[in-house]
Amino acid sequence: MPEVELVHWNPTRQVVSGRLGRYLPKRPVNNFGDLLGPVIVKRILEQRGIALDSAPRARRLLAVGSILHFAEDGDTIWGIGANGKRLDDEVAFRDLDVRAVRGPLTREYLEGRGITTPEVFGDPGLLVGELWTRDELAKGYRSNDVVILPNFHDYRSTRRARNVINPKDSLWSVIGRIAASRLVVGSSLHAMIIAESLGIPARLVVSGTEPIYKFDDYYRGTGRAGAEPAPNIKEAIKMGGQRPIDWSPAPLLNAFPVDLWTS
């Protein structure tokens, strides 16, 4: 039966390093932000009364994440971004069906490669606050003044901090703890996005591993001049949230490629 493949990043990795690790079963990374795409797509289809397996023909949809380098000719793009670590890489596509991108930097990247890209901006993670209520997401989680959510590459250096969330915890527990917080700080882009989608102040902290590109792309796509990160967690808490988003969900929702299932 034809299906729409929901392309996202979640590779398997060794559980432990060294020779022993080669003999143990590998596990998926399960970084929460990279799991959002399929969840959001399924929720939108569910609310529209469309079955995920009802596609008339096989297609690939890329939604959420810095995964543009995974795109192939004919793929549909909805809200993803270019990866700041892969900007000079050769790409495997010449023709894409682009409905929306994360921000203007990704649009510029695609247009520079001859790919027509509409000025429809926004990471689909911003729709979490449209598709679920903050109360239902926060139910069962203890309220906190501040939670810290690092990029998963930065987690090791921050894991001993108070109220730090492991970005590889279960998707719904990470979202629930964000929803139950009054301020979110950290180097996880999707921590910022989920918080802002729910109206929670959020402040980016400089990442020790991630280029600023994806952050600037997101902030510029939501009506800000770019990222204004704090140098560390202490300063982030002192600064409070960055200026709220100036963005409407309607264009991104209207750009959702429902025709992949209905045409």
pLDDT, the chain, mean? 94
In a domain, 245, yes or no: no
What pLDDT was estimated at residue 1?
64
**Same structural domain, 12 and 120:** yes
Q: How confident is the model at residue 11 (pLDDT cuts 50, 70, 90)?
A: confident
What pLDDT was estimated at residue 176?
98
**Same structural domain, 10 and 67:** yes
Distance CA 97, CA 116 (A): 8
> Do residues 167 and 159 make contact, with C-beta atoms less than 8 angstroms apart?
no
Tens digits of residue pLDDT in 208-233: 999 999 999 999 999 999 999 999 99
pLDDT beyond 70 at 33: yes
**Same structural domain, 140 and 120:** no
In a domain, 146, yes or no: yes
Backbone angles phi, psi at 204, to 5 degrees: -70, 140
In a domain, 98, yes or no: yes
What pLDDT was estimated at residue 85?
96
**Same structural domain, 98 and 197:** no
pLDDT beyond 80 at 25: no
Task: Average the pLDDT over each of 2-11, 35-44, 85-94 and give the range with the smallest value.
Answer: 2-11
**Same structural domain, 175 and 234:** yes
**Same structural domain, 220 and 122:** no
Q: How confident is the model at residue 157 (pLDDT cuts 50, 70, 90)?
A: confident
- The tokens describing 47, both together, are 């609310």
Q: Residues 103, 109, 111, CA angle at the centre, nearest 5°? A: 100
Tens digits of residue pLDDT in 36-79: 999 999 999 999 999 999 999 999 999 999 999 999 999 999 99
In a domain, 46, yes or no: yes
Tokens 């209207």 belong to which residue? 254
**Same structural domain, 163 and 258:** no
Task: Average the pLDDT over each of 11-20, 41-50, 169-178 and give the range with the smallest value.
Answer: 11-20
In a domain, 244, yes or no: no
Q: How confident is the model at residue 160 (pLDDT cuts 50, 70, 90)?
A: confident
Distance CA 154, CA 107 (A): 28
**Same structural domain, 50 and 113:** yes
pLDDT beyond 90 at 146: yes
Give me the long-range contacts of 41-48 (CB less than 8 A, separation at least 24). Answer: 41/6, 41/124, 43/131, 43/132, 44/127, 44/131, 44/253, 44/256, 44/258, 45/258, 45/261, 47/131, 48/258
- Domain containing residue 154: CATH number: 3.40.50
Distance CA 160, CA 215 (A): 25
* Share of residues in the chain with pLDDT > 90 (%): 86
Q: State the average pLDDT over residues 95-118.
A: 98
What pLDDT was estimated at residue 9?
85
Task: Average the pLDDT over each of 6-10, 123-127, 160-164, 200-204 and give the range with the smallest value.
Answer: 160-164
Q: How confident is the model at residue 16 (pLDDT cuts 50, 70, 90)?
A: low
Tally of domains within the chain: 2
What range defines the domain where residue 79 resides? 4-126+250-262
pLDDT beyond 70 at 128: yes
**Same structural domain, 107 and 151:** no
In a domain, 22, yes or no: yes
In a domain, 164, yes or no: yes
In a domain, 55, yes or no: yes
Tens digits of residue pLDDT in 231-259: 999 999 999 999 999 999 999 999 999 99
**Same structural domain, 228 and 140:** yes
Q: State the average pLDDT over residues 197-218.
A: 97
**Same structural domain, 183 and 116:** no
**Same structural domain, 82 and 175:** no
What pLDDT was estimated at residue 53?
92
